[in-house]
């Protein structure tokens, strides 16, 4: 076992050392001929496949030690991460999608080593293969014949077994796809050695699934419907991206709306109706891009839908308000803006200085936008002392009041667990000095925002939080850090940072 581990470590060291030497000699690349340059790119791609395979092996082991049944004792949660993918992303500095791919392909590689044995190559006990039909794919990645991206494409295109497609049939299809991906057999007319990229591999895998399950149209329709989702990502440049996955039937409705919003720009049919002609001409002359028109149009439709519901909290809207209340609850969605009194006062008609922040978002917004939103929603003052502590407006009770939650959100800016990015709306208020154990007060200085995962992790794994003035520190349990070195829990609120910076200037 020791020899095996030493060999693995030495192999990794050799790969890293070789990669560093190539990167440090970038000037040499300028002296290569065209043929040598292309050959070098192919060689590097091969080395990258090997490195990615190694990364997948390690990610798969991290996932195995973080399996759900281990709970908070799993490796990822012991280190303070919600999932093994989050731990891998932290360790690699990659995107969430890349980390997820490494974990999944790492699982395929582990599955390729299970077979009928109860131990893996290291002698450690194994669990049954999670996706045994993908074992040939994992073996191909481990041997360097297939990239991690191609393996992910096969997994996504083939899908899993159901009542009409057996594991054996999927495994046979995977073997054929591996042969295509490795260049051994690329199909009629393509010739040996022809390789496909990951996008082409996904299409081939999806075609293979359709061939296996031609009679299962209704089943695939249901499966597509179950895959519908709306996901949100905050990009580093301050923009927010929503990815909306729709089944074909639902997409047809949204496509119709999109086409109506943009058809004059895309050469849509010319209308006889005078009003439609006028609208089409206005769209064609609009200075916004086609993508901007579509985005603004959908936002306006959402706003109209909310406005039609009227005051859903009091039920004074139209007949649609009851349906809207079922969808989003008793409070209308709203934009909450944080701005210091100093910045708001500085936003006069001559200088237009100062700025604010949308709650839960790191980038500033102009004072003009602050004033526009304040005009619509009004202002709730929240006072801070010289140390950045929100003034306590609560009563001595178990649950934090709405006003206290507003103060905590303005001060903390979201979950204050290190590296967590959950916004205020996804958090719970935690008593630093516990309510029952320490007889802690329900006050703002004794409260701190934590997302549900980290709130549970703190209690279940016996982490502690201490406060020094307006600063909060996370104390790990002895099992994680024998020295229990305090870790800072900085505020995520850019508005508070602006306020303290201005006062210290």
Residues in the chain: 505
The pLDDT of residue 242 is 92
Do 346 and 355 meet the contact criterion of CB atoms below 8 Å apart? Answer: no
The CA distance from 409 to 493, in Å, is: 8
Angle in degrees, CA 418, 103, 91, rounded to 5: 35
Domain positions in the chain are: 2-22+34-220, 228-286, 287-325, 402-504
The CA distance from 69 to 47, in Å, is: 36
How many Å separate Cα 384 from the centre of its chain?
Answer: 33
Q: At what angle do helices 2-23 and 34-64 cross, to 10 degrees?
A: 140
Q: Which two tokens stand for residue 185?
A: 């057999």
The pLDDT of residue 221 is 74
The pLDDT of residue 327 is 61
Q: Which residue has the tokens 């969808």?
A: 327
The pLDDT of residue 315 is 43
Q: Which two tokens stand for residue 282?
A: 């206005």
Do 379 and 370 meet the contact criterion of CB atoms below 8 Å apart? Answer: no
Angle in degrees, CA 307, 310, 316, rounded to 5: 170
Question: Which residues in the chain land under pLDDT 50?
Answer: 1, 116-117, 122, 185-194, 311-319, 347-350, 393-396
Element (H, E) at 244: strand 240-245
Could you give the count of Cα atoms lying within 13 Å of 111 in the half-sphere of its Cβ? 20
Q: Is the pTM of this model over 0.85?
A: no
Task: Give the start-end residues of each E strand in 109-158.
Answer: none
The CA distance from 479 to 79, in Å, is: 11
The pLDDT of residue 483 is 94
The CA distance from 108 to 130, in Å, is: 8
Angle in degrees, CA 490, 496, 501, rounded to 5: 95
Do 148 and 52 meet the contact criterion of CB atoms below 8 Å apart? Answer: yes
The CA distance from 359 to 251, in Å, is: 32
The CA distance from 365 to 255, in Å, is: 32
How confident is the model over 316-363, as pLDDT tens digits? Answer: 444 455 666 666 555 555 667 787 777 766 644 445 567 788 777 767
The CA distance from 384 to 239, in Å, is: 29
* SS3 state of residue 248: helix
Could you give the C-alpha distances from 260 to 298, 373, 411, in angstroms and in order? 11, 30, 44
The CA distance from 500 to 411, in Å, is: 11
* SS3 state of residue 465: strand
* SS3 state of residue 115: coil
The CA distance from 422 to 76, in Å, is: 18
Residue 490 φ/ψ region, left for φ over 0, alpha for ψ in the -120 to 50 degree band, beta for the rest:
beta
Q: Which residue has the tokens 């706003």?
A: 303
The pLDDT of residue 190 is 38
């Amino acid at each position: 076992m020791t020899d095996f581990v030493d060999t693995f470590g030495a192999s990794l060291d050799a790969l890293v050392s070789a990669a560093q030497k190539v990167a440090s000699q970038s000037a040499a690349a300028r002296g290569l001929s065209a043929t040598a340059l292309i050959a070098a790119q192919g060689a590097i791609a091969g080395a990258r496949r090997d490195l990615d395979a190694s990364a997948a092996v390690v990610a798969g082991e991290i996932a195995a030690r973080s399996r759900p049944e281990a709970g908070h004792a799993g490796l990822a949660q012991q280190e303070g991460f919600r999932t093994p993918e989050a731990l891998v992303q932290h360790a690699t500095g990659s995107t969430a999608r890349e980390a997820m791919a490494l974990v999944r392909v790492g699982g395929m590689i582990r599955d390729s080593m299970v077979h009928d044995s109860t131990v893996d190559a290291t002698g450690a006990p194994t669990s049954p293969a999670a996706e045994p039909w993908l074992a040939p794919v994992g073996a191909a990645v481990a041997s360097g014949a297939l990239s991690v991206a191609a393996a992910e494409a096969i997994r996504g295109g083939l899908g899993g077994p159901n009542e009409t497609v057996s594991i054996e049939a999927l495994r046979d299809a995977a073997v054929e796809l591996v042969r295509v991906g490795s260049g051994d057999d690329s199909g009629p007319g393509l010739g040996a050695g022809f390789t496909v990229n990951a996008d082409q591999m996904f299409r081939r895998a999806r075609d293979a699934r359709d061939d296996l399950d031609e009679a299962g149209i209704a089943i695939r329709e249901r499966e597509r419907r179950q895959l519908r989702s709306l996901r949100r990502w905050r990009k580093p440049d301050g923009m927010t991206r929503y990815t909306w996955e729709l089944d074909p039937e639902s997409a047809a409705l949204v496509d119709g709306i999109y086409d109506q919003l943009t058809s004059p720009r895309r050469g849509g049919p010319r209308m006889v109706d005078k009003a439609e002609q006028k609208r089409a001409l206005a769209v064609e002359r609009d200075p916004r891009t086609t993508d901007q028109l579509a985005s603004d149009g959908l936002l306006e439709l959402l706003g109209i839908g909310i406005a039609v519901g009227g005051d859903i909290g009091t039920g004074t809207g139209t007949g649609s308000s009851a349906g809207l209340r079922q969808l989003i609850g008793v409070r209308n969605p709203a934009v909450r803006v944080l701005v210091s009194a100093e910045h708001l006062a500085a936003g006069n008609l001559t200088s237009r200085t100062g700025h604010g922040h949308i709650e839960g978002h790191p980038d500033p917004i102009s004072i003009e936008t602050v004033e526009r939103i304040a005009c619509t929603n009004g202002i709730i003052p929240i006072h801070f002392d010289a140390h950045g502590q929100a003034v306590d407006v609560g009563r001595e009770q178990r649950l934090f009041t709405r006003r206290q939650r507003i103060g905590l959100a303005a001060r903390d800016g979201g979950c204050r667990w290190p590296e967590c990015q959950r916004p205020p709306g996804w958090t719970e208020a935690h008593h630093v000095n516990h309510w029952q154990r320490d007889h802690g007060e329900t006050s703002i200085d004794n409260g701190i925002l934590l997302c549900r995962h980290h709130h549970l992790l703190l209690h279940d794994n016996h982490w502690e939080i201490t406060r020094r003035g307006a600063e909060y520190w996370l104390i790990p349990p002895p099992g994680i850090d024998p020295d229990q070195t305090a870790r800072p829990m900085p505020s995520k609120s850019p508005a508070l940072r602006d306020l303290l910076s201005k006062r210290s200037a």
